[in-house]
Chain A
Amino acid sequence: MRNWTARLTLALVASALVVLATSSAAASIVEYDVGIDGFGCPMCVDSLEKRLEPLEGLEDLEVDMGAGTATFEVDESAVLMPGEVAEAVDEANLSVREINVVAEGTARQDGDEWQLELSEDETIGLNVEDELGEQLEEGDQVEVSGEALEEGGWTIEVREVSTP
């Protein structure tokens, strides 16, 4: 009897841990390093900050006018897509040179194509070379880093894959 009770308790605890682990799995583009062209004076910086800061989940924004970069993190509960960042930069009368990201989510395979599921509604395509693709498994939680490119839709040109 005692044995059954122990087994039941263990099963419940394991289930709870699985549920907890699943619900807290990070799924977002968590870091942005955006190269920006067109800075001319301090008002450009203010103009850019005014448009980036309202974006959902954006934290720790730093703009370097000399280097032409804006770096920030995104709260894991929010999904901020590269298109929204590019649109904000354009509205500030500036241009995106490149968008480098770190993204976390669930790897999904569709034929030869890989995608990263960020939420129930949002996925982003992954452009992965064969060697890196071998590190991906359907349904795995992964962290990828690379350059976000707009090629029809937004994709990440993956440079690095790891398990968070």
Chain B
Amino acid sequence: MKSEVFRPSCNHHAIGSDGPSARLASRAILFVAVVLTVGLAGVEPAEAGPITFDAALPVPQGDVVLRNQVVLNRASSDPTGADRTMTGLMVPTTVAYGLHSRVTFMGMLPFAYKRLEMDADAVDGADNGRVTRTTSGFGDMRAMVRATPLRIDRTGGKVGASAFGGMKLPTGADSEHDEYGRFPQPFQLGTGSWDPVAGAVFTWTELRWQFDVSGAYHLRTEANDFEAGDEIEGNASFQYRIVPWGQLESGTPNWLKAVLETNLTHAGRDRVGGEPNPDSGGLTWEISPGLQWITTGNIVEASVQIPVVQRLNGDALGGDFRARVSLRSRF
């Protein structure tokens, strides 16, 4: 599960569709297949963990981990003439609780500020400069449970595999509007839909480095006559200790780690009124260099997520960057 999601597509078009029941059945089969696969594969969290995805967030039994992030993102690669620029400032708060040494509950609530700028003629047809639309408030909450059936501890390291499943709840406002009318659904703070997610995480930890890889499938459901495209994601994170360098001596010094992460996401086309939107969805591959400062009780981290490849459908709006700072504290 990604720590937050930003979907910049804002176009609505309608063309022919598949049979809805057949489509739902095939997606349900895919979802169940993913759940079964990750259930069999099973994963374990290491103590530090990736920056751009939360699924590997480690939580010992009885502990609470609070993660606060500030994420600034911008999307302005607009193939249309509307010169759209979407800016988002997200403040997701994640709380994780160790129900058991191998079971963790996680909840995430984002606060978001979104601003969409575009040429006015794209909104009202008149050539009267730029239009700016903004919205802010709490978005959709997510709840997730992660189980770790496989954990192999070794001297100075561990390997583990976990499966997770959860739901995005429709807690954010999903019918907001301004003087220009109702916001496009992807611009709303919430979707209004109940969207399940399932995935798996694999973690390999050494005292010198850590590698995490995760995959997840997000099943989107319909609300407000809109259904975002299902999303499948793959994430990988490599963290390497640069301070202290070399072999550890006795004691417990703070650590500085260099981090390199990559995120591959494929989103299906959104559906409006049951019809697919050709200007939505597509493939995005991002890389994220970052740094982590790890103490015995807190982790401060920062990264910049940069799109390397964006094969988006139609006139979908392409992202520019996502910058993130984060503080994790354990209680």
Chain A residues proximal to chain B, CB less than 8 Å: 35, 37-47, 51, 63-68, 90-95, 97
- CB-CB under 8 A from B294, the residues of chain A are 41-43
- CB-CB under 8 A from A64, the residues of chain B are 250
Interface of B is mostly: loop
Check if B250 sits within 8 Å of A41, measured CB to CB.
no
Question: Can you report 10 A-B residue pairs in the complex whose CB atoms are below 8 A from each other?
Answer: A38-B157, A40-B47, A40-B207, A42-B296, A43-B294, A43-B330, A65-B207, A66-B207, A91-B62, A93-B98
Interface of A is mostly: mixed
- CB-CB under 8 A from A65, the residues of chain B are 156, 207, 248, 252
Check if B210 sits within 8 Å of A40, measured CB to CB.
yes
- CB-CB under 8 A from A91, the residues of chain B are 60-62, 101
Check if B297 sits within 8 Å of A43, measured CB to CB.
yes
- CB-CB under 8 A from B210, the residues of chain A are 40-41
Please report the C-alpha to C-alpha distance between residue A143 and residue B59 in the assembled complex, in whole angstroms: 39
Check if A38 sits within 8 Å of B153, measured CB to CB.
yes
Closest CB-CB distance, A45 to chain B, in whole Å?
5
- CB-CB under 8 A from A67, the residues of chain B are 250
Check if B249 sits within 8 Å of A41, measured CB to CB.
no
- CB-CB under 8 A from B61, the residues of chain A are 90-93
Check if B247 sits within 8 Å of A43, measured CB to CB.
no
Contact of A37 among B158, B247, B295 (CB under 8 A): B158
A46-B297, A65-B248, A65-B252 are known contacts. Are A38 and B62 too (CB-CB below 8 A)? Answer: no
Check if A97 sits within 8 Å of B299, measured CB to CB.
no
Check if B295 sits within 8 Å of A93, measured CB to CB.
no
Q: B48 contacts the other chain (Cβ, under 8 Å)?
A: yes
Check if A44 sits within 8 Å of B47, measured CB to CB.
yes
A38-B157, A66-B250 are known contacts. Are A93 and B60 too (CB-CB below 8 A)? Answer: yes
A64-B250, A68-B156 are known contacts. Are A41 and B60 too (CB-CB below 8 A)? Answer: no
A46-B296, A63-B252 are known contacts. Are A40 and B48 too (CB-CB below 8 A)? Answer: yes
Q: B138 contacts the other chain (Cβ, under 8 Å)?
A: no
Check if A38 sits within 8 Å of B48, measured CB to CB.
no
- Nearest neighbor of B250 in chain A, beta-carbon distance: A64
A66-B247, A66-B248, A90-B101 are known contacts. Are A43 and B299 too (CB-CB below 8 A)? Answer: yes
Please report the C-alpha to C-alpha distance between residue A4 and residue B153 in the assembled complex, in whole angstroms: 71
- CB-CB under 8 A from B45, the residues of chain A are 93
Q: Ordered nearest first, which 4 A-B pairs have the shortest CB separation?
A: A38-B153, A46-B296, A66-B248, A95-B153
Check if A40 sits within 8 Å of B46, measured CB to CB.
yes
Check if B158 sits within 8 Å of A47, measured CB to CB.
no
Please report the C-alpha to C-alpha distance between residue A65 and residue B249 in the assembled complex, in whole angstroms: 8
A41-B48, A43-B48, A46-B296 are known contacts. Are A66 and B153 too (CB-CB below 8 A)? Answer: no
- Nearest neighbor of B102 in chain A, beta-carbon distance: A93
- Nearest neighbor of B100 in chain A, beta-carbon distance: A91
Please report the C-alpha to C-alpha distance between residue A46 and residue B63 in the assembled complex, in whole angstroms: 12
Check if A42 sits within 8 Å of B253, measured CB to CB.
yes
Among B62, B153, B253, B254: residue with most chain A CB under 10 A: B153
Check if B296 sits within 8 Å of A45, measured CB to CB.
yes
Q: A39-B156, A91-B61 are in contact. List 6 more A-B contacts (CB 8 A).
A: A40-B47, A40-B158, A43-B330, A46-B296, A91-B62, A95-B151
Please report the C-alpha to C-alpha distance between residue A94 and residue B102 in the assembled complex, in whole angstroms: 11
